[in-house]
Every structure is written in C-alpha cells, then in structure tokens.
Amino acid sequence: MQARAIVLATGNPGKVREITAALGDLAVEILSLERFADIAPPAETGQTFAANARDKALYYAAATGQWCLAEDSGLVVDALDGAPGVHSARYAADRCPPGADRATVDQANNAKLLEALAGVPTGLRTARFLCHLALAGEGRVLIETFDTVEGLIAEAPRGRGGFGYDPVFVIPSLGRTTAELSPQQKNALSHRGKAVRHLARLLASFLSQRS
C-alpha cells in the first residue's frame, strides 16, 4: 500500500514527536508544517477543543491539498471553572515578551496557574488534560476522536521531561508529574497518547476500506 501523506497541523515539536511515534506502524508519511511555511496560521476562535481541531484540520487540508491531522488540547482545572481550557497555550500571554520561545511561555503559564491555585488544598486541585484530534481531507472531516487523563495540580513544578503543563500535572496513581515520566511512560497514559492510538485504529480501518 502506498503511504498516505498527512500534514501535522502543529508547530509544537513535542506534539510532533508524540503523534509521529503513535502513527509509526501505519502506511502514512507524516509531513511537517515546516514544509508549508508560507501558509499563515489560522485564527483559533473556537470555544471548544473539538471546534479548534476541526477548524485547523479543514484549513490546512484546503491550503496544502493534503490530508491534515490537527489537534487541540489543553488543561482543564476544576477549581478555576475549567480554565485555562482552550486558552491553555496562551494562558500567560500577557506576561511574555513578543516572540518568546516555547520554554519561556511554558514557564509563564505554569507560574500563573500555580499563583491562581495558591491556598487551594490538594483534594480540590483536580484537573484533566484533554486532547481532541481531527483528520480532514477532500473538503470534510474524515475522522475525529478524543481522550483525557485525570490528575492533580502540584504545588510546585517537578521534573525535566515533557512540555507545557507537564511539570505541574500529577498522576495520582504514580505520585509523579508527567514531566517526571519517560517519554514511553507518558505516551502510554497521556491524553494525547490515548487519543492518537484511537485515531490510529480508526485510520487503519479507514485506509483499508479505500485500498
């Protein structure tokens, strides 16, 4: 079977690594957005992770002429009424200089989150990561799926792995943040890892029907 080209609609290298690894056994060729640097990114105006994922997938599929896999994911904290939610990546944008690198943005986001939860006891620091995936092509959404992982927000960052909110997101059963896990451990239980494995199964079936 000839490999199907799929553009990954993200510039986040951590997400690219996780998604590419999970789809590695399928007859697909993963194309980075770096190949399409002349395409301006779309505005993310959706009020849900699902809406943003669909919008990005359809936008880049139309712009590149390829199938496109997009995701929107983030952190939902119960004590903050669901914040940062769809604004997870931009939660502390007002604290970052223009053009700040990803490490600076991640650090600012985590600092703002911990400040917002100052004084909140452990039992009320419940949160979850959520990932919604959408694969678009031929003018429509072909496949979509999602998954979550439940956890607690730590009182201080721990660990050097991962990215984003990983240093403050504790897996209760392990007593460790996702930044303290190996990439393999994180991918086995993370919201994105589980969602991509769902997608891989759906995509394998979809491709076999079209062969």
Quickly tell me which residue has 């393999």 as its tokens: 184
Dist CA 148 CA 41 (whole Å):
26
Structure tokens at 127: 């949160």
CA angle 11, 14, 15 (to 5 degrees): 65
Whether residue 72 lies in the annotated active site: yes
Dist CA 33 CA 31 (whole Å):
7
Structure tokens at 15: 């997400």
DSSP alpha helices (H): ranges in the chain? 13-22, 49-64, 102-116, 183-189, 191-210
Task: State the catalytic residue, choosing from 55, 72, 106, 166.
Answer: 72
Catalytic residue positions, numbered:
72
